[in-house]
Amino acid sequence: MGKSDKKKAYSRNASKEQRAAYLFLIPAFLGLSLITYIPLLATFIMSFFNMNVGHFVKNSTLPPPQFVGLANFIDIFTNPSIDFLNSIKVTIYFALLAVAGSIIYSLFIAMLLNRTMPARGFFRAIFYVPYILPAAAVMISWWFLLQYDGGLINYILVRLGLEKSYFLANSSTAIPSLAVIAIWTSGNLIVIFLAGLQNVPRVYHEAADIDGATALQRFWNITIPCMTPIIFYNLLLSLVVNLQVVVPALAVTKGGPGKSTMFMSYLMYQTGFRGRELGKAGAIAFIFFIVAAIFAFILFATSKSWIFYEGKDDRK
């Protein structure tokens, strides 16, 4: 067989494999298109119409939906009953607190759990359990704990001779209280950090030990640089989850006190599924998407300057 025949046969095989690959991709592509991209596009289109739930109802007396241009986008920022700018602010405030707290807390716990200690498996499970508990149940349990009358936390404060706190009923303490709960449930980050810590080469620590480096120096100059890819992944994961926060508002705070916990997702839900204004909810969803994308972009754009990949220099 000549060289060109071989090439043709290879090309035939490759194209057959490609066809099979495309066939295998069809189900996933169809599924993704039908349940993600087409609804996304429909939401975007809907945001330019004064679409109401009533427009979908057979026999409805509502006039047909009208194209309103950017009116929905303007209204969500200027209508005081929606006040989307406030929702962007409170969501970002919550996400920053929850992400920073979760990363620090889970890295700290992971480092403790990475040490040789008795009942290590038990403690690893203990810190992971909050993550797998149903989110609404967690919120309601914390709501009980944080109650002004009869709440365990306030009981402890009073026993310590301190003043009771309204926690979730106070606009200045509501978000920090919810961030603490989010941090408490970040057991998945602990597991990922633990996996990363076990991949930090021991030889670096041993060499640094011989050179007389302190534990803090080893942590700062060896552990953290080696962990930066994992930190990046956890940051991204935590950011996406916390920007989409909705359960605390749905289960407990209902967006209050005031509008202090009127998160973007909850506002979108309220506008679309309670207020029936699907066009405006679509506009909120679209801006929400952009806000989340900006944060993800910033994270990716800055990642090159602080992520350390072992053997990075060998890559092309």
Interface ranges with other proteins (CB under 8 A): 16, 19-20, 23-24, 26-27, 30-31, 34, 52-54, 56-62, 79-83, 148-149, 158, 163-164, 166, 168-172, 252-259, 262, 269-270, 273-278
Minimum gap (Å) between residue 62 Cβ and other proteins: 4
**H-type helices in 160-277, by residue range?**
171-184, 187-197, 202-210, 215-218, 224-243, 247-248, 264-269
Q: Judged by CB, which is closer to other proteins: 106, or 260?
A: 260
Q: Quick one: 100 exposed, middle or buried, by C-beta within 10 A (0-12, 13-18, 19+)?
A: middle
Nearest to 304 by CA among 316, 312, 292, 294: 312
Q: Judged by CB, which is closer to other proteins: 34, or 195?
A: 34
Q: Among all chains, which residue has been given the structure tokens 């349940």?
A: 35
Minimum gap (Å) between residue 159 Cβ and other proteins: 10
Q: Judged by CB, which is closer to other proteins: 2, or 80?
A: 80
Q: Judged by CB, which is closer to other proteins: 26, or 203?
A: 26
CA-CA distance, 152 to 223, in Å (whole number)? 38
Minimum gap (Å) between residue 300 Cβ and other proteins: 32
The single-letter code of the amino acid at 310 is E
Minimum gap (Å) between residue 53 Cβ and other proteins: 5
b/e burial code for range 70-95 (CB count within 10 A of at least 16 → b): ebbbebbeeeeebbbebbbebbbebb
Nearest to 127 by CA among 143, 106, 141, 100: 106
User: Do residues 101 and 183 touch, judged by C-beta distance below 8 A?
Assistant: yes
Q: Judged by CB, which is closer to other proteins: 72, or 106?
A: 72
Minimum gap (Å) between residue 269 Cβ and other proteins: 8
Minimum gap (Å) between residue 94 Cβ and other proteins: 16
Q: Judged by CB, which is closer to other proteins: 102, or 154?
A: 154
CA-CA distance, 14 to 79, in Å (whole number)? 58
Q: Judged by CB, which is closer to other proteins: 202, or 274?
A: 274
Minimum gap (Å) between residue 130 Cβ and other proteins: 24
